[in-house]
């Protein structure tokens, strides 16, 4: 195991401890950014070590679940400390994560893969199953609250919130079972792999467990540093006069850095199936684990959750799923499809600042 891959996660946690104890000035902010980037690179390295040991699609699942568990902890912590002012934070973060993944991350992977390999292939059945699950989860969590009439505003009643939470867990659990057990072959890379690392000897059990532990240390550093920097981001958003929804975008972008790095590397190595597993797996885990957690937190602390999207965001979500279904229908991708997703992502960012 390279020495840097052990030292960087530990250094990131140390910087996190210093940042938690001291006020965040310019110098400390720069150090936090450097530590955050280093923790992302180290986390992806250890995730790839674990993935090489357990094989696909378990490897991508490890990274998706690990980062999502810590992301949920971050959102719940901010809800507990922020009170009613954070009632829209789960909605903004989940919606931002879906848009970042389905347009920004997928578009970037398709662009890099298309420029390097012209066309790339993937398994249509598995990827479409992931997209169908994501559409159902997102609709139950973010769309239906706009149209229900039992509660005032874009919210759920306690019973409706419980149903959405249970449905999210069930759908996510069934998808994981299908991905890893029942139809695992639907999510394995297509036989066009050009990455020589795939054919390297797998690491030992000791190395895999060590990387698994260091992966969590690195992810704690990533999300912890993101949380430390979130007040600075929030102050910057307010100073710039931007809507508060931009805070959810910033959190999603920071937390999704490890998946983005890993997915882009896989696309560049002509392993688009791995990239799509990472992308949609992260989106599904984000909703499937976040909604139950924030629903329970909301009921415990008595703060209502505002989950329903406004008409602008609903339109962007519908456009995203429509284009994604077209992108994934043929099992082959190229740069034109990448351009469409990236333009939608640019529109999402622009309209977040200029609603």
Q: Is 230 exposed, middle or buried (0-12, 13-18, 19+ CB in 10 A)?
A: middle
Q: Which of 64-73, 109-118, 151-160, 261-270 has the lowest mean pLDDT?
A: 64-73
pLDDT of residue 84: 63
Q: How high does pLDDT run on average in the chain?
A: 84
pLDDT of residue 82: 63
Q: Provide mean pLDDT across the span 333-349.
A: 94
More confident residue, 311 or 243: 311
Does any domain span residue 50? no
Percentage with pLDDT > 90 across the chain: 29
State the residue for tokens 């390297």: 200
pLDDT of residue 199: 47
* Model confidence pLDDT, tens digit, residues 65-118: 776 776 777 677 666 666 666 778 888 888 998 999 999 999 999 999 999 998
223: nearest Cα among 11, 8, 59, 72: 72
Please answer whether residues 103 and 341 qualify as being in contact, where contact means their C-beta atoms are separated by less than 8 angstroms: yes
Alpha helices in 83-204 (DSSP H): 89-99, 106-117, 124-138, 144-147, 158-177
Phi, psi (rounded to 5 degrees) for 49: -65, -45
Count of residues making up the chain: 355
Task: Identify the H or E element spanning 217.
Answer: helix 205-239
Residue 52 binned pLDDT confidence (cut-offs 50, 70, 90): confident
Tell me, what DSSP letter sits at residue 22? S
204-206-212 Cα angle (round to 5): 105
Inter-CA distances, 336 with 118, 121, 349, Å: 11, 15, 20
Alpha helices in 240-271 (DSSP H): 245-255, 257-268
Is the torsion defined by CA of 198, 199, 205, 207 positive or negative?
negative
Q: Report how far residue 63's alpha carbon sits from residue 74's, in angstroms, rounded to the nearest whole number.
A: 17
Is the torsion defined by CA of 312, 315, 320, 323 positive or negative?
negative
Tokens representing 4 are 């840097």
pLDDT of residue 81: 65
pLDDT of residue 259: 78
**Local structure of 202: helix, strand or coil:** coil
More confident residue, 73 or 290: 290
pLDDT of residue 23: 79
302 is in which domain, residue-wise? 68-195+229-353
Is the torsion defined by CA of 185, 190, 191, 196 positive or negative?
negative
Does any domain span residue 116? yes
Does any domain span residue 120? yes
Does any domain span residue 61? no
Please answer whether residues 114 and 338 qualify as being in contact, where contact means their C-beta atoms are separated by less than 8 angstroms: yes
Does any domain span residue 302? yes
State the residue for tokens 């882009």: 264
Does any domain span residue 173? yes
Does any domain span residue 223? no
pLDDT of residue 170: 93
Does any domain span residue 206? no
CATH number at residue 185: 1.20.1420.30
The separation between the first and the last C-alpha atoms of the chain, rounded to the nearest angstrom, is 48
pTM to 2 decimal places: 0.80
Please answer whether residues 277 and 57 qualify as being in contact, where contact means their C-beta atoms are separated by less than 8 angstroms: yes
Domain count across the chain: 1
Residue 57 binned pLDDT confidence (cut-offs 50, 70, 90): low
Tokens representing 261 are 């790095």
Instruction: Tell me: pLDDT of 321 over 90.
Output: yes
pLDDT of residue 134: 95
Q: Report how far residue 95's alpha carbon sits from residue 82's, in angstroms, rounded to the nearest whole number.
A: 20
């Amino acid at each position: 195991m390279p020495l840097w891959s052990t030292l960087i996660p530990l250094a990131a946690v140390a910087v996190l401890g210093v940042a938690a104890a001291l006020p965040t000035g310019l110098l400390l902010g720069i150090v936090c950014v450097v530590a955050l980037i280093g923790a992302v690179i180290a986390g992806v390295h250890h995730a790839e070590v674990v993935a090489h040991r357990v094989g696909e699609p378990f490897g991508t699942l490890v990274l998706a679940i690990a980062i999502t568990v810590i992301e949920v902890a971050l959102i719940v912590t901010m809800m507990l400390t922020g009170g009613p002012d954070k009632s829209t934070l789960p909605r903004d973060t989940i919606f931002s994560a879906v848009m970042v993944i389905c347009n920004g991350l997928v578009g970037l992977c398709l662009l890099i893969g298309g420029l390097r390999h012209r066309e790339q292939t993937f398994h249509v059945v598995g990827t479409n199953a992931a997209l169908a699950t994501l559409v159902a989860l997102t609709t139950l969590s973010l769309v239906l609250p706009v149209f229900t009439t039992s509660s005032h505003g874009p919210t759920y009643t306690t019973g409706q919130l419980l149903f959405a939470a249970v449905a999210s867990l069930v759908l996510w659990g069934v998808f994981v079972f299908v991905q890893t057990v029942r139809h695992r072959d639907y999510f394995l890379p297509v036989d066009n792999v050009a990455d020589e690392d795939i054919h390297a000897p797998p690491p030992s059990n000791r190395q895999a467990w060590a990387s698994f532990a260091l992966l969590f240390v690195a992810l704690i550093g990533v999300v912890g540093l993101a949380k430390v920097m979130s007040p600075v981001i929030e102050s910057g958003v307010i100073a710039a006069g931007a809507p508060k929804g931009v805070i959810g975008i910033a959190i999603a972008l920071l937390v999704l850095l490890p998946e983005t790095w890993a997915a882009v590397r896989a696309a560049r190595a002509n392993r688009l199936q791995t990239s799509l597993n990472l992308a949609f797996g992260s989106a599904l885990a984000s909703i499937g684990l976040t909604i139950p957690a924030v629903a329970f937190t909301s009921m415990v602390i008595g703060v209502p959750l505002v989950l329903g999207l406004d008409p602008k965001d609903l339109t962007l979500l519908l456009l995203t799923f429509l284009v994604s279904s077209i992108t994934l229908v043929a099992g082959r991708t190229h740069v034109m499809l990448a351009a469409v997703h990236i333009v939608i992502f640019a529109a999402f960012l622009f309209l977040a600042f200029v609603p």
